[in-house]
Structure 1
Amino acid sequence: MHKPAAEEEITSLHDLSAVDLIAGYRARQFSPSEVLDEVIEHVAAWEPHIKALYLFDPDGARAAAKASTDRWQREEPAGALDGVPVTIKDNIATKGQPIPLGAASVRLIPAEKDAPPAARLRESGAIIFSKTTMPDYGMLSSGLSSFHPLTRNPWDLTKNPGGSSAGAGAAGAAGYGPLHLGTDIGGSVRLPACWCGLVALKPSLGRVPIDPPYVGRVAGPMTRTVDDAALMMCVLAKADRRDGMSLPADSSIHWKTLDKSPRKLRIGLMLDPGTGQALESDVRSVIVSAAKTFESAGAVVTEVDGILTREMLDGLDNFWRARMWDDLSRLSPEERGKTLPYILKWAEAGAKLSGVDVIRGFNATMAIRAAAAKLFHDLDYVVSPVSPVVNFPAEFAAPINDPSKPFEHIAYTVPWNMSENPAVSINGGYDSKGFPIGVQIIGRRFDDLGVLGMAKAFEGLRGPQRPWPSPPKK
């Protein structure tokens, strides 16, 4: 599937990082139009196999790239990402385009304006050439959707890219340019990053303004390198008053300053989240190796217990079922019937929950927050798996694929949404077949820069990476 290192070609423009693209534009080595043409050509080779895109707009993108090329020729770039190709997840509003939320039951109504993350990217000069796919209502860690075609993993087309930022993960691994924007309420940028070999930051709640805001819901970068994630955050973390849960703009944060030594830092190694799906041995090996890497660099590593309980996870499940049923119950029976059967069966159970059941479920968020605060009292960072499993079939809605047990695989990721801590996924190694396995690094609330700094340190210590997947030969 992959070319041996000796046979690798010179890096193509579509494989260059955003940092390198900006440097190349500034040095006039190539133009945004040339880069976009290569990306479009590469998309044509991959897209029939992985189905990562929605509303792909090559003509509109070419016009934007031409305008960017003209700006660079005048040495007047619009912003930090001028001319860099970007994809945006289906559920992040872009003006004039519908927001199907991955569900055939959603009415296709054009958005009146860009959501904050899309607005910041557009203002920076980024070339938004496509939206990306997601599962119904973002409530699956899967590329399965009732609206979009099945999205597959470029590393192995029989496997799932994860979700709910499914198309973003697949597009990143396939080399559809360097920058992809996803959202995460329980693991939805980190899980696809884990299964697609990418870097993905779930910021502290409010660090990236988003509309509509919600408990635990964030937007975050999905990239191939830590530097690109930091560059994207330079743009995404700017203020927007539409998000009443957003943090005040902090001019003291310099996202490009990622130099950080693990020396003398206190790191917790969390191999057991406290509940959920059993940890597979290949994943355990990669995470233990990552912890030893930090230890060799001078960190003090201690194994710690997980903070999630069965009651907490089941409580979140009940709360989300009720929330989903609230949305679906407002639809006509015909519209509701278009929902993915797995999601419909899962949500219908929410109709049978009492008000007390639902409020107990919501209160799990506060219990998780208290447990996280206690955990980080004596720790600087925590290292853990992102997913308990290496991969699962492309056609599955989730690793277990049972709507009565929908969230057994998010026990390592969902606590940090509810506690609002920043967490990053970065590739840590591979299984025997060369499939990527992500490592999660979690920091204290608001220490987004520190989490990226730790990921950058690990990126330099983890050793050589396998080549990215190549499109299947016709």
Structure 2
Amino acid sequence: MSKALHDLSARELLDAYRDASLSPVEVTQAVLDHIARWEPKLQATWLLRPEAALEQARASEARWRRGEPLGLLDGVPTTIKENIATRGDPMPAGTAAVELRPAAADAPPAARLKEAGAVIVSKTTMPDYGMLSSGLSSFHTLARNPWDLTKTPGGSSAGAGAAAAAGYGPLHIGTDIGGSLRLPASWCGIFTLKPSLGRIPIDPPYMGRAAGPMTRSVADAALMMQVLAQPDARDSMSLPAQDIAWPSFDVGAEHLRGLRIGLLLDAGCGLAVDAEIRAAVEEAARLCERAGAVVEILQPFMSQAMLDGMDHLWRMRSLVDINALPAERRAKVLPYIRAWAESAAGFGGEHVFRAFSQFHATRVAAVSACAKVDYVISPTAPNLPADAELPSPTNDPLRPLEHIGFTVPFNMSEQPAASINCGYSRAGLPIGLQIVGHRFDDLGVLKVSRAFELIRGPQRPWPQPPGA
């Protein structure tokens, strides 16, 4: 094959395992070797255990030789975000403040991946409590962006985004409560789907929190959805079983013909959209129009009050969590996170209630705005990736969420939302296009994403390890 083994898609690997032209062992070793070249600079992994990965690969190889693959992903190298529990491994949630205890069981996404035969190469890093759009952590080393090592990969699925772009195998999984899948996907140039709430069960569940695939292609994300989108009673918001034809995602550009697509260029709150990002998203809209879609401008539906309300409720939640820690552990929380949480100390009951009310106001506004069209496209983020060392684009704990105005409403409205690369800045940094569907239309979002994947401009080669 002309591609390096670490660059092969999951589908290409499975075809090669099926015809015995490749084995899971040689592929896993190639991925591990590639990680070893990248990792001193990228720092995307945690619990990278080469021998454990090779042991899984050897078991997979034996199953393929018998003609008895375990499941849809047998032998495919995969990473799992650190805050998705894997049995026997501690889960620090990105912070040095947490006491490390081995998890008693695999969380639902990890369990589904293992049942499908995926080779778990590593877990991936995240910031303290997953509350930053960066790789800055008091526990993990600082994760960086493979397109530019001085920049952040985004977060909180920081290591996963970096790993996918750098070629740490084809399949990665992260989580998202306000943009934590989509922001790193945008800034690392990969594809992700934040599914409808409950489509991929998680444990513990939380309002707006979703797990999702992070891959280089729509095809590999659709393959992961076949495995991950299964009910699990541990998630109180798990959706009932549904026979979704995930393989039918693979449509042509003609799928866009006649679709009504809303173009949202102003989030209504937070940071102004960078001119290069706006130009790339407008060009994406023109491509959709040329393919036959009917594109109309959507007026902003978010407000600064909505964004601030969600911020203030999350500050209070984090303050309660941090105050429950012993003093010596509290002191280990990242100072930015501590300052952000402690700013809620003076909030009264009425203030917190009004803040909480903004979650529902956001949900109602998002659903109402999207009701007018079939799909919505927008920038994933208003800004290009910040410097790696910054905790957030503003570097201000009192203005921490100014960059999530396009992403967070669709967590609260429970709608599926993808991010796909739609261009590059003058400096060569990726730019993400968000594609949003109505609640439960996860497959529809994948189809629109696939159609756009076919009509977008040429993609640049994936970044290579320094010195390669």
Q: What is the TM-score normalised by the length of structure 2? A: 0.98
Contact 2:219/2:250 (8 A) holds in 1:
no
CA displacement, residues 401-420 of structure 1 (integer Å, 9 cap, x when unaligned)? 11010000000100000110
Alignment identity in percent? 59
Q: Could you say which residue in structure 1 is the equivalent of 2:319? A: 325
Select 2:116's aligned residue among 107, 119, 124: 124
Mapping 1:29-428, distance limit 5 Å: 29-251=21-243, 253-260=244-251, 261-428=255-422
Output the CA distance in 2 between the equivalents of 1:452 and 1:361.
Answer: 33
How big is the shift at 1:365?
Answer: 1.4
SS at match of 1:350: coil
CA displacement, residues 349-384 of structure 1 (integer Å, 9 cap, x when unaligned)? 122111221121121111111112211222100000
Output the CA distance in 2 between the equivalents of 1:259 and 1:469.
Answer: 26
SS at match of 1:335: helix
Output the CA distance in 2 between the equivalents of 1:55 and 1:172.
Answer: 17
How big is the shift at 1:75?
Answer: 0.8
Q: Could you say which residue in structure 2 is the equivalent of 1:18? A: 10
Structure 2 stretches lacking a partner, 5+ long: none
Output the CA distance in 2 between the equivalents of 1:92 and 1:367.
Answer: 29
1:286 aligned partner, one-letter code: A
How big is the shift at 1:121?
Answer: 0.2
Output the CA distance in 2 between the equivalents of 1:306 and 1:74.
Answer: 57
1:147 aligned partner, one-letter code: F
C-alpha root-mean-square deviation of aligned residues, in Å? Answer: 0.9
Output the CA distance in 2 between the equivalents of 1:81 and 1:129.
Answer: 13
Output the CA distance in 2 between the equivalents of 1:249 and 1:306.
Answer: 35
Output the CA distance in 1 between the equivalents of 2:213 and 2:278.
Answer: 26
1:226 aligned partner, one-letter code: V
CA displacement, residues 403-462 of structure 1 (integer Å, 9 cap, x when unaligned)? 010000000100000110100000000011211101000000000000010000000000
Q: What is the TM-score normalised by the length of structure 1? A: 0.97
Q: Could you say which residue in structure 1 is the equivalent of 2:423? A: 429
1:377 aligned partner, one-letter code: A
2:424 aligned partner, one-letter code: Y
Structure 1 stretches lacking a partner, 5+ long: 1-8
2:61 aligned partner, one-letter code: T
SS at match of 2:129: helix
How big is the shift at 1:74?
Answer: 0.7
Q: Could you say which residue in structure 2 is the equivalent of 1:4? A: none
Mapping 1:1-16, distance limit 5 Å: 10-16=2-8
Select 2:462's aligned residue among 461, 464, 468: 468
Output the CA distance in 1 between the equivalents of 2:183 and 2:411.
Answer: 13
1:179 aligned partner, one-letter code: L
Output the CA distance in 2 between the equivalents of 1:63 and 1:291.
Answer: 47
How big is the shift at 1:259?
Answer: 4.0
Output the CA distance in 2 between the equivalents of 1:184 and 1:161.
Answer: 15
4+ residue runs of structure 1 moved beyond 6 angstroms? none
Output the CA distance in 2 between the equivalents of 1:220 and 1:358.
Answer: 30
Output the CA distance in 2 between the equivalents of 1:363 and 1:28.
Answer: 57
Output the CA distance in 2 between the equivalents of 1:211 and 1:357.
Answer: 29
